[in-house]
Amino acid sequence: MNPIRILVVDDHTLFRRGISALLTREADLAVVGDAADASEAQRRAQQLQPDVILLDNHLPGVNGVDVLPALREVTPRTRILMLTVSEDENDLSRALRNGAAGYLLKTMEGDALAHAIRRAVRGEYVMAAEMTGKLVAAYQSAAAGQPAPEVIPASPLNALSPREIDILRGIAGGASNKEIARKLAIAETTVKIHVQHILRKLDVSTRVHAAVWAAEQGLI
């Protein structure tokens, strides 16, 4: 059988390389390309016509969920899986509405990611276990006729996931990435990625600014 051809879209070079190295260990998976932003992702997707695209939600200047329609247009047969740190239910809802075949978190194990890719190629929809409850809640709300969650958050605090708020509290308390990782029982590299997304969402440039903002919001 031909290997499953994968395109990795993420703005972090080291993450793209790490995912590529991880997946190419699997005999039936092949990373055929990568992209760092939305424009490059569309060009590469159209050129390569991969079986699967792993798409981060936080790309330069745009959210990955908003890139989904354009990617589906240039490569309609490709299964697109969100692979992100965002646990926000609005991101989940928008991803599914825009045609994602799954929503996965970067905290998952490598073998679980490989398994999810294989399932997606078979036509299944794959979902991180942490997001399943939120998906069920969203469908229940829709069935009850309740309004959908706001797509645009009313404040930067609403844009942060629960995990990002925990990390922001750690930053405000003066903890290092290593200390935050130990307290939350997650990898230090995962904390670094979360911190970058927190700074971007709050539109601040340093951890100090983020800590001041957190204090003003009463998070500490």
pLDDT of residue 113: 92
* Phi, psi torsion values for 100, nearest 5 degrees: -65, 145
pLDDT of residue 129: 75
- Other C-beta atoms lying within 10 Å of the C-beta of residue 96: 19
Matching fold, domains 4-141 and 156-216 = no
* Average pLDDT of the residues in 192-210: 83
* Average pLDDT of the residues in 147-160: 55
Q: CA-CA distance, 80 to 7, in Å (whole number)?
A: 9
Give the start-to-end residue ranges of the domains of the chain.
4-141, 156-216
pLDDT digits (tens, 9 = 90+) for 78-134: 999 999 988 888 888 888 888 899 899 988 888 889 999 999 998 888 888 777 766
Task: Say if domain 4-141 classifies as CATH 3.90.110.10.
Answer: no
pLDDT of residue 152: 38
Residues 6+ apart with CB under 8 A from 143: none
Q: CA-CA distance, 191 to 212, in Å (whole number)?
A: 19
pLDDT of residue 214: 82
Residue 14 pLDDT greater than 80, yes or no: yes
pLDDT of residue 213: 82
* Average pLDDT of the residues in 186-213: 84
pLDDT digits (tens, 9 = 90+) for 15-39: 999 999 999 899 999 999 999 999 9
More confident site: 107 or 56 = 56
CATH number corresponding to 156-216 = 1.10.10.10
Q: CA-CA distance, 83 to 129, in Å (whole number)?
A: 13
pLDDT of residue 217: 79
pLDDT of residue 151: 39
